[in-house]
Every structure is written in C-alpha cells, then in structure tokens.
Structure 1
Amino acid sequence: MSIEHLNPAGLHKNPVFSQVVVTRGDIRTIYIGGQNAITPSGESVGKDDIGRQAEQIFANLEIALASAGAQLEHVIKWTVYVLQGQPPQPAFEVFQRIWGKRPNPPLITLLFVAGLAHPDFLMEIEAIAVLPDADG
C-alpha cells in the first residue's frame, strides 16, 4: 500500500494541509462521522470557546480512529464545519499543536454553516483515514 501526498506546482503549498492524496494497493478506508465537543458521559464542553471544543473533538477523533485500528497520521481528509461568525484560527492552532511535526498533513475542507446539531456546538469535524488492509 502507498499513500502519496502531492502539492503540485501551481498550487499554494501550506504546512498545515496537502492539496492531493493518492492511495494505491490493498487498503482499508475508515470514514468517521462528524465529531463534536461531547465527552464520553454526554456533556457538552467549551460553550463559547472554539479552541476548547477543538480539543474535545480531536480527543473524540482519536478514540474513533483507534476503534478501527488507526491513528491521526492515517487521516487523509478532514471536513471541518464551523458555525458562522466563529473564528476558525483557534481551532486550527489546536490542530497544528496536536498534529505536531508529523509529515504529510491531510486535505482540509472548511465550511461555515448556519447551525450544527446542538446550539452549543461551534464546530464539527469528520474524517477519512486510510491504512493497510490487515486482511489484504
């Protein structure tokens, strides 16, 4: 299996995201539905604090990935939904800190939305991860 991250000439290169990801070979693809700032006990955290919500969202994403045998570095695409009027920068700062020095950041699509599933939610993230197929 191979995963190739491309940042072709003619497109902006940014250390936070890749422009194109190509996968080849025997792979397993994991799709993670939108994660939000809910703790395992069902408590909503970070009301009015998108950075705090991002912390909980990434904790939830790591749990979801682990349940399928994956880790953050297997994510090839994030889709980030941010409530209109919220600044995405604090959430991206959390992402940059958590991602750290890992190479090949994933693709990222950011959408501003009129509302999310709960009025306290300021953002939600879904993910696609790819890793070698254990059965392949």
Structure 2
Amino acid sequence: MPKEYINPPGVSKSWYFTRILSITAPSKLIYIAGQVPADENSRPVHVGDIRAQYIAVLDALTVQLKAVGATWDDVVFRRVYAIDVPAFVERCVRDENFPVPWTRERPSPSTLIGVTALANPHFLVELEIAAVIAD
C-alpha cells in the first residue's frame, strides 16, 4: 500500500516519529485501544520500571497487530500517555538502543501526552495505535 512519509522543511525532525504520513490507496483502518503494562489477568507488570513497562506494551500491541493481519510497518499513528514524561523521553525515546518494533527510517506520526494518572497507579505508560492495511 502506498504511504508517503513527509517531514517538511521548517519543522523539527525526529528519528522517533514522522510529521506527516499520507496514505493514497483503498485501505482498512484499524484502531487498537490503549494498551497498558498488564498481564493476561490485568495485573501490572514491571512495577516502577517505565522502560520495561513500555517494552511489555509494545509486545502486547505486536500480538494485537498480528491478530488483524498487520505489522508495525502498517502503524500510521501512535499516542503515548506517560506519568513521567522526562523519564519516558530519557529511557525510551532518546535512547537510540531502545528496541522499537517500527523502522527508524519511517516511524509513524506520534504524540506524547503527560498525564497525572492511568487506570492503575502502577501503570507508568499507555500506548494506543492506528494501523492501515490494504483492503
């Protein structure tokens, strides 16, 4: 499916996200609800470790993408909610060794939002995504 990744001149550029992603073919749009760092019984995992929690979230989202026939290459938008934005940026965004499942050459657009609380006081991060696959 044709996708155009655009970082226009005059705005900042990041390896973590692309400013604009344009899709120009018939497609199926998939929304995946906010994923928190929880096990199959909704119990928090990796309490106190935002990096380990984020990896657990990415792993769970990978399973969900696979369930609908998609991969991280099909993700067109990510929205992250973090209790501690500076810690998230330092341990998950600025760390070029962080194991992101998407390509660093063409990352999807992304928004990072600082929040005061998530559904459980032990959750430090939540991620929701949208993906597009060929119809």
Tell me the TM-score normalized by structure 1. 0.88
In structure 1, what is the equivalent of residue 23 of structure 2? 23
Separation in structure 2 between the aligned mates of residue 54 and residue 22 of structure 1, nearest angstrom: 27
1:110/1:101 Cα in 2 relative to 1: closer, same or farther (>3 Å)?
closer
Deviates more, 1:120-129 or 1:88-97: 88-97
Separation in structure 2 between the aligned mates of residue 48 and residue 94 of structure 1, nearest angstrom: 22
Q: CA deviation at 1:64?
A: 1.0
In structure 2, what is the equivalent of residue 127 of structure 1? 129
1:72/1:85 Cα in 2 relative to 1: closer, same or farther (>3 Å)?
closer
Count residues with an aligned counterpart.
133
Q: CA deviation at 1:101?
A: 4.7
Mapped contact 2:78–2:108 kept (Cα < 8 A): yes
Q: Would you say 1:4 and 2:7 are equivalent positions? A: no
Separation in structure 2 between the aligned mates of residue 61 and residue 95 of structure 1, nearest angstrom: 20
Q: Report 1:92-111 matches (<5 A).
A: 92=93, 93=95, 96-99=98-101, 101-111=103-113
Tell me the TM-score normalized by structure 2. 0.89
Q: CA deviation at 1:16?
A: 1.6
1:95/1:2 Cα in 2 relative to 1: closer, same or farther (>3 Å)?
farther
Separation in structure 2 between the aligned mates of residue 103 and residue 71 of structure 1, nearest angstrom: 16
Deviates more, 1:76-85 or 1:3-12: 76-85
Runs of 4+ in structure 1 deviating by more than 2 angstroms, as ranges, are 40-43, 91-96, 98-103
Structure 2 gap ranges (5+)? none
In structure 2, what is the equivalent of residue 91 of structure 1? 92
Mapped contact 2:58–2:101 kept (Cα < 8 A): no
Separation in structure 1 between the aligned mates of residue 122 and residue 97 of structure 2, nearest angstrom: 20
Separation in structure 2 between the aligned mates of residue 120 and residue 108 of structure 1, nearest angstrom: 24
In structure 2, what is the equivalent of residue 72 of structure 1? 72
Aligned sequence identity (%)? 29
